[in-house]
Amino acid sequence: EAEVAQSPRYKITEKSQAVAFWCDPISGHATLYWYRQILGQGPELLVQFQDESVVDDSQLPKDRFSAERLKGVDSTLKIQPAELGDSAMYLCASSLAGRETQYFGPGTRLLVL
Amino acid sequence: GIQVEQSPPDLILQEGANSTLRCNFSDSVNNLQWFHQNPWGQLINLFYIPSGTKQNGRLSATTVATERYSLLYISSSQTTDSGVYFCAVITQGGSEKLVFGKGTKLTVNP
């Protein structure tokens, strides 16, 4: 069964450093999402791509976060500089199209010291 | 925006017991998904169920869209069912993001 791949699975960094997360969606899925999940809460959307275009980045802290999906396949989410409050699980999901079933990857757990 | 409320927030069961988890939402939806988040943090799809009833083994789900709620039934619970269960919805029109509830934390004791 096809799965969403993410790396790394865990990342420990010091505040003010740069970090990057990678996501490879299920083959053929045009829509890709990055969510952030703080401990004890449900995930919240950071950014949504349709192919290579950003559809929704209204909740992305653009002063420090950036995301790209250059060829409309895999995607990278970057934080620079990292802050203590960025410690969370970062989840990538994909779907055939918007409003269809979303499938999640295993996530990247980030700890900022 | 849409509000998604899940109940109960915590549930403790003995192995073999049955349970019902509830999800209420405040607006019309055209996507509703139930997920199980395992102890490692992976969100596992259980059901895509914007309306109607579905069953998969010991799990079943029912969504009554007109009354804006969904129920997840777990029968003959096992210790491996432990974890957090999330309901998430996409509203009709507007954003295509999933809006999650706060989850129900289920603990199944042997």
Question: Tell me: the pLDDT tens digits for A16-69?
Answer: 999 999 999 999 999 999 999 999 999 999 999 999 999 999 999 999 999 999
Q: What span, in angstroms and rounded, lies between the C-alpha atoms of B18 and B6?
A: 18
Does B39 contact chain A (CB < 8 Å)? no
Helix (H) or strand (E) holding B105: strand B104-109
Is the per-residue pLDDT at B94 higher than 80?
no
What pLDDT is stored for residue B92 in this prediction?
A: 81
Is the per-residue pLDDT at A93 higher than 80?
yes
Write out the two tokens for A38: 């703080």
Strand partners, A108: A90
Q: What span, in angstroms and rounded, lies between the C-alpha atoms of B94 and B49?
A: 20
Does A21 contact chain B (CB < 8 Å)? no
Q: Looking at this protein, which amino acid is placed at residue B71? A: L
Q: How confident is the model at residue A97 (pLDDT cuts 50, 70, 90)?
A: confident
- Residues of chain A numbered 44-73 and touching chain B (CB < 8 Å): 44-45, 48, 55-56
Does B45 contact chain A (CB < 8 Å)? yes
Candidate from A57-61, A95-99, B34-38 with smallest mean pLDDT:
A95-99
Is the per-residue pLDDT at A99 higher than 90?
no
Alpha-carbon distance B69 to nearest alpha carbon in chain A (angstroms): 18
Q: What span, in angstroms and rounded, lies between the C-alpha atoms of B1 and B94?
A: 10
Q: Looking at this protein, which amino acid is placed at residue B83? A: G
Q: Can you tell me whether residue B95 is helix, strand or coil?
A: coil
Q: How confident is the model at residue B95 (pLDDT cuts 50, 70, 90)?
A: confident
Contacts of A4 in chain B (CB under 8 A): none
What pLDDT is stored for residue B44 in this prediction?
A: 94
- Residues of chain A numbered 80-109 and touching chain B (CB < 8 Å): 89, 91, 93, 98-104, 106-107, 109
Q: What span, in angstroms and rounded, lies between the C-alpha atoms of A58 and A79?
A: 16
> Which of B30, B45, B101 is the closest to A42 by Cβ?
B101
Alpha-carbon distance B53 to nearest alpha carbon in chain A (angstroms): 16
Q: Do A42 and B33 touch (CB under 8 A)?
A: no
What distances in angstroms separate CA A111 from CA A16, A63, A82, A106, B86, one per listed residue?
Answer: 13, 20, 10, 16, 23
Q: Do B40 and A106 touch (CB under 8 A)?
A: yes
For A31, the closest chain B residue by CA position comes to B96
